[in-house]
Amino acid sequence: MNLYEYQGKKIFQKYSIPTTRGILIDRDYENDYVFLQELQQQLKYPVVIKAQVKVGGRGKAGGIKIANNSEEFMKFTKQIFSMDIKGIRVNKILIDEYVPIEKEFYMSFIIDRSLSIPVFIFSPSGGVDIEEVAEKYPEKISKEYISNLDLFDFQIRNAILRVYREDINHVKQIESIALKLYRLFRENNCVLAEINPLVLSGSNFIALDSKIILDENAIDSIEDEEDESRSPLEEEAKRLGLAYVELDGNIGVIGNGAGLVMYTIDLINLYGGKAANFLDIGGGARADRVKQSVTLVLKNPKVKGLFINIFGGITRCDEVAYGIIEAYNEKEYNIPLVVRLQGTNYEEGKRILEKLKERISFEFTESAEKGAELITSLVK
């Protein structure tokens, strides 16, 4: 489950991570002129008006504005409520404190899919996509793998010092925030806990944005209010009992096992693509569950290609193949499909899927790496 920025910041505050405090308004107030007039009179300008959507690139899309006075406040709130960012309508706006920025950093904890352990990622180049920094300036990214669940101060300190040595007092402050973020990451069963950017303002470090993705099993540990953070497709997936998280790319991903799905997403990133979702069908999935999964992923209008990566043990490759065929028989899809199968009843699964070649852009592979490369090239 992917949280909104404002929800992530509430959790930051519980863990004493310094962050901005804002006021949330929703679409119900869009045309309530009296409310907005009263609200803007209470504000201390400038303020930052931020669209609350669970996709990246809000700033580039015009979803973040700085209002210097009441006139700009009214103008920008109206503009942002009328926006559609990457196919998602803006229903909530966070009116946030303005913070003067001297320097921006990146910090996150994420599960390394190949090793199934957490990794700390830090960079002195924040405020942009970390993938972009990794591609252009790999020497500015530091990683620290946490092989046991205990994280020691020196591990964080060493990771920071590999790429940033300008001020030892800064390093100590960053280290303190990182340790708090790891506690948050552990205690809330996070898939990702990210601060981008972590900004230096005066003598203080402040988490200016938040990105938190929770494991579905952790949802009950979040206040009921957090349920509204799910997108319509995530709500549908929950009703169907599917482990599904929407991401901001355009390649649909389906696999069996959380580790395999996360590895697949990493492979797609490696070949220059971006995943549109995480979907784990689990072990032993039958054809009906596979059909539901394919149908759900392809309801997302952002999806321009689909990669299904299955390693069959208790999950039978022929059942997976039947589910894919049933989904495509029910509705005509015109996007490229790549399927990687290995394991139980592999030959039968391959035979069943051969029928798709007559109808759509379809490729079959036995290699996860080749499959990721194929789907990325077909979507570009």
348 vs 335: CA distance, rounded Å: 24
Dihedral in degrees, nearest 10, Cα atoms 146, 147, 153, 154: -100
253 in Cβ contact with 279 (< 8 Å): yes
Burial classification of residue 329, based on how many CB atoms lie within 10 Å of its CB (0-12 exposed, 13-18 middle, 19 or more buried): exposed
Q: Which of 5, 30, 144, 194 is catalytic?
A: 194
CA distance between the termini of the chain: 28
Cβ neighbour number for residue 42 with a 10 Å cutoff:
7
Peptide bond into 18 cis (omega under 30): no
Q: Which of 6, 15, 106, 322 is catalytic?
A: 106
DSSP string covering 60-75, please?
TTT-EEEE-SHHHHHH
Assess whether 333 carries a catalytic annotation: no
Residue type, 179: L
Smallest CA-to-CA distance from 248 within 277, 271, 210, 273 is with 277
**Tokens 């948050």 identify what position?**
184
Residues facing residue 220 across a β-bridge = none
Q: Which two tokens stand for residue 275?
A: 């995943």
Assess whether 332 carries a catalytic annotation: no
Catalytic site positions:
106, 194
